[in-house]
Structure 1
Amino acid sequence: MTRPLISVVITVYNEEENIKPLLDATYEALQHINYEVILIEDGATDGTVTEVKKYANNRTKLIIFNKNYGQTTALAAGIDLAQGEYIATMDGDLQNDPSDIPGMLQKAIDEDWDVVAGRRANRKDGFVLRKFPSKIANYIIRHSTKVYLNDYGCSLRVYKAHIAQNMGLYGELHRFIPVLAKQEGATMTEVDVKHHPRIHGTSKYGLSRTFKVMADLILMLFFQKYFQRPIHIFGTLGLFSFLIGVLINFYLLIEKLMGGDIWGRPILLLGFIFLLGGIQLITTGIIAEIIIRTYFESQDKKTYKIKSVYQGE
């Protein structure tokens, strides 16, 4: 069997009523392309598995988890097993439209993009609970990571396989896939895609995920700027804290020598907190540096990635 041009990875969780129309639409959209479809059933408690087995064709694989691991882990499993030259990802709730995939794939091929991301031009979600928090999160992510995409929440994307399979997905970092791809040196663009209202089932997301996004953003910023040099952030903060502690305690020492009573004053406690905090931060930075070196050297990993090598004739 020849290698598929594209592998379509779809995460499904309690989407029993959506499976048949989802597969029908996907097969119709990809009928003129050499493709495979990989469905990841993330510990569903309804009849999702039964429906997939009923309607799947011979180009479809179903991965069944023994429990719910979350969307990021499901995507990672599907991407790991994908055989295609390109990999497309999408949700299984019918809000993404598979008919957008051929155009996105063609754009990636014709213009040599590593990632073509979908942008929901006419999003069919509620404003207060979905659109407004999403706009805020998108704005913060764009301007803090310097990866200027408009719609981080759209799961419909097409990647070159080597980019998708080297991103290191874990936790709940699926929201930051464009940032992870950019760290791999990926070139990316964004195109308008269709978006449909949810017909069957209920959304797995709510307003509370905004806070999770912000927490993950802190991690992503650390990965972007300090992953290979953690001492730069911990050491800088530690030295700054230690210096403040020294200045406070020097001031108190002068005051004590001049006959003042410094015992029991809150500023004395504050000075010691800054001193000890500075020492702890510097120590954490040194330990983090040792861990990073162990990470790279124990697995013979490189701190760089070569895009291509040209041999002159």
Structure 2
Amino acid sequence: MNISVIIPLLNEQESLPELSSWITKVMDANHYSYEVIFIDDGSTDNSWNIIEDLSRKNSAFKGIRFLSNYGKSQALHAGFAKAEGDVIITMDADLQDSPDEIPELYNMIIQKGYDLVSGWKKKRYDSVVAKNLPSKLFNWAARKTSGVQLNDFNCGLKAYRKNVVKNIEVSGEMHRYIPVLAKNAGFKKIGEKVVIHQARKYGESKFGMNRFVNGFLDLITIWFLSKFGKRPMHLFGLLGTIMFFIGFVSAGYIGIMKLWKLYVSNQETILVTDNPWFYISLATMIIGTQLFLAGFLGEIILRTKNNEERYKISEEINL
């Protein structure tokens, strides 16, 4: 099979018929063998009934229905697990991503040898204040932190070689950072393509300003995971050891100076416990010990963790 198209969605009943017709037209025109996997992430409208109707008319259309709204990362994870195409295309269901981009994305993977190609919505139709400026800041921070030189991390239109999606773990809200996850997994040929961004035709955006706040927090998480995810002791153990050593040396210095003044200089001294630096040294040693234990526990958890099910599937169609 040439292409698997994975489309997460939430309450997109108006756009699904038009989107499915558009995809079919592109696939037939290019003589691709394909499948389209819709992941209904807990829609409360008529989206699932439309997916069922589409699947009856065309067996290439398939569906996964979640019991509840688990998030885009979980939807992509479920789609990646089921995808069978040589090239995996992800896109949003709101018609803001154009299926006409699929042939060139496919060729960049197959002919030019990219592992991953990310869309870049260079010209956007979103609000400048609400989305454009926060998005530019977010993408700048992501580039600096991750080392992956993409202009638009958050674009839903991406293409992947099959072995990429089968070897990365998308969880939490990490769908924004799939290129970073791919890089960390060893896939180095990551490209970018300018794609058409279309104004939303139906409904309203399901994402608010909080996605940028969450995005920056996730950026810190993925930076930590990429640097120390497999060796937490290297960070926490090092910091803990340094802090404990500083606290221990400081406490030792306070004790030695008291003994020196008391027995050598014959000076009257205050109690060690009346010296505020004693408590600073003690706190530093305690914090150092806790950091060391955090690293130790992180190593234990890393070696004993089991993959937990992060979503529940209610129904499947043609899978």
Q: Secondary structure at the match of 2:273?
A: coil
Deviation >6 Å, runs of 4+: none
Query: Structure 1, residues 7-55: CA drift from partner, whole Å, max 9, x if none?
Result: 0000110111111111111111222211110000000011111222233
Q: Secondary structure at the match of 2:237?
A: helix
Show the counterpart of 1:291. Answer: 301
Within a 5 Å distance, the mapping from 1:32-71 to structure 2 comes to 32=30, 33-56=32-55, 57-71=58-72
Task: Choose which of 187, 196, 199 in structure 1 pairs with 2:198.
Answer: 196
**Residue ranges of structure 1 left out of the alignment (5+ in a row):** 300-313
TM-score normalised by the chain length of structure 2: 0.87
Give the whole-Å Cα distance in 2 for the aligned partners of 1:256 and 1:197: 74
Matched letter for residue 48 of structure 1 = S
- The yes-or-no answer on 1:218 pairing with 2:220 is yes
Matched letter for residue 194 of structure 1 = I
Q: Secondary structure at the match of 2:230?
A: coil
Give the whole-Å Cα distance in 1 for the aligned partners of 2:255 and 2:19: 73
Give the whole-Å Cα distance in 1 for the aligned partners of 2:37 and 2:273: 68
Matched letter for residue 277 of structure 1 = I
Show the counterpart of 1:306. Answer: none
The 3 A distance-change label for structure 1 pair 245 and 48 is: same
Q: Secondary structure at the match of 2:120?
A: strand
Show the counterpart of 2:209. Answer: 207
- The yes-or-no answer on 1:7 pairing with 2:4 is yes
Query: Structure 1, residues 197-224: CA drift from partner, whole Å, max 9, x if none?
Result: 1121111212112221122112211221
Query: Structure 1, residues 266-311: CA drift from partner, whole Å, max 9, x if none?
Result: 543332221111111112222322333446xx99xxxxxxxxxxxx
Tell me if structure 1 keeps the 8 A contact 2:54–2:61.
no
Tell me if structure 2 keeps the 8 A contact 1:255–1:262.
no
Give the whole-Å Cα distance in 2 for the aligned partners of 1:213 and 1:236: 28
Show the counterpart of 1:308. Answer: none
Task: Choose which of 275, 278, 302 in structure 2 pairs with 1:268.
Answer: 278
Query: Structure 1, residues 207-259: CA drift from partner, whole Å, max 9, x if none?
Result: 11222112211221122111222211111111222123224323433454431
- The yes-or-no answer on 1:176 pairing with 2:177 is yes
Give the whole-Å Cα distance in 1 for the aligned partners of 2:276 and 2:101: 63
Q: Which moved more, 1:22-31 or 1:190-199?
A: 22-31
Q: Which moved more, 1:286-295 or 1:221-230?
A: 286-295
**Structure 1 residue 89 displacement after superposition:** 0.6
Tell me if structure 1 keeps the 8 A contact 2:138–2:215.
yes
Task: Choose which of 271, 274, 288 in structure 2 pairs with 1:278.
Answer: 288
Larger Rg: 2
Q: What RMSD in Å do the two structures reach over aligned CA positions?
A: 1.8
Tell me if structure 2 keeps the 8 A contact 1:7–1:84.
yes
Matched letter for residue 178 of structure 1 = P
**Structure 1 residue 135 displacement after superposition:** 1.0
Show the counterpart of 1:307. Answer: none
Within a 5 Å distance, the mapping from 1:56-95 to structure 2 comes to 56=55, 57-95=58-96
Give the whole-Å Cα distance in 2 for the aligned partners of 1:68 and 1:289: 32
Task: Choose which of 218, 231, 243 in structure 2 pairs with 1:229.
Answer: 231
Show the counterpart of 2:125. Answer: 124
Higher relative contact order (CA 8 A, sep 6+): 2
TM-score normalised by the chain length of structure 1: 0.88
